[in-house]
Chain A
Amino acid sequence: MKRKRKRSKLRASGVNPQRFNKGQIKFYLYLIPLAVFMLLPIIFITMSAFKPIDELFAYPPRFFVKNPTLNNFIQLFSVSSKTNVPASRYLFNSIISTVLVMASTLLMSSAAGYVLSKKVFKLKKILFSINNLALMFVATAVAIPRYFVIVYSGLQNNFAANIIPLLAMPVGLFLVKQFIDQIPSALVEAAVIDGASDYKILTKIIIPLIKPALATIAILAFQTAWNSTEASTMYINKETLKTFSFYMTTLSNTSGNVIAGQGIAAAATLIMFLPNLILFIILQSQVMNTMAHSGLK
Chain B
Amino acid sequence: MKKFLEKHSNGVLLSPYVLLFTLFIIIPVLAAVVLSFTYFNTIEFPSFIGITNYISLLMNDKVFMQKVIPNTIVYAIIVGIGGYILSFFLAWSLSQLTKLPRTILAIIIYSPSMTGGILLSTVWGVIFNGDKSGYLNYFLLQMGLIDKPVLWLQSDKYLLTIMIIVTLWSSMGIGFLAILAGIMNLNEELYEAAYIDGVKNRFQEIIYVTIPSAKPQMLFGAVMAIVNTFTSSGVGVALSGTNPTPNYAGQLIVTHIEDYGFIRYEMGYAAAVSVILLIIIRLASVGANKLFGSSDE
Give the B-binding residues of A (Cβ under 8 A): 6-7, 10, 13-20, 24, 27-28, 30-32, 34-35, 37-39, 41-42, 44-45, 48, 59-61, 63, 108-109, 111-112, 114-116, 119, 121, 127, 130-131, 134-146, 148-149, 153, 164-165, 167-168, 170-171, 173, 197-199, 202, 220, 223, 227, 229, 234, 245, 248-249, 251-256, 258-259, 262, 265-266, 269, 272-273, 276-277, 280-281, 284, 287-292, 294-297
Contact = CB atoms under 8 A, between A and B. Distances in A.
B169 interface: yes
A144 to B, nearest CB: 5
B111 A13 contact: no
Contact of A148 (B31, B106, B129, B205): B31
A58 B278 CA distance: 47
B191 A295 contact: no
Given A27-B96, A41-B127, A141-B278, A136 B227 contact: yes
B90 A115 contact: no
A245 B119 contact: yes
Nearest to A116: B14
Given A60-B138, A144-B32, A173-B17, 11 more contacts: A18-B98, A24-B97, A31-B93, A45-B122, A136-B227, A137-B25, A143-B261, A149-B28, A220-B174, A262-B122, A296-B292
Given A280-B107, A296-B219, A170 B182 contact: no
A47 B269 CA distance: 45
B25 A145 contact: no
Interface in B16-58: 16-18, 20-21, 23-29, 31-32, 35
Contact of B216 (A45, A130, A284, A297): A297
B184 A16 contact: yes
A192 to B, nearest CB: 11
B126 interface: yes
Given A42-B111, A269-B122, A135 B14 contact: no
B93 A277 contact: no
B284 to A, nearest CB: 8
Contacts of A273: 114-115, 120
Given A10-B191, A15-B183, A297 B13 contact: no
A145 B231 contact: no
A280 B109 CA distance: 12
A291 B111 contact: no
B13 A13 contact: no
The list of the 4 closest CB pairs from A to B, nearest first, reads: A295-B216, A255-B241, A291-B181, A145-B31
A35 to B, nearest CB: 5
7 contacts: A14-B191, A140-B258, A142-B278, A251-B122, A254-B239, A259-B133, A291-B178
Contacts, number: 313
A269 B119 contact: yes
Given A44-B127, A145-B35, A202-B13, A24 B90 contact: no
B10 A280 contact: no
Contacts of A17: 96-98
Contacts of B63: none
B85 interface: no
B5 interface: yes
A294 B183 CA distance: 12
Contacts of A14: 188, 191
Contact of B122 (A27, A148, A223, A252): A252
Contact of A272 (B103, B119, B242): B119
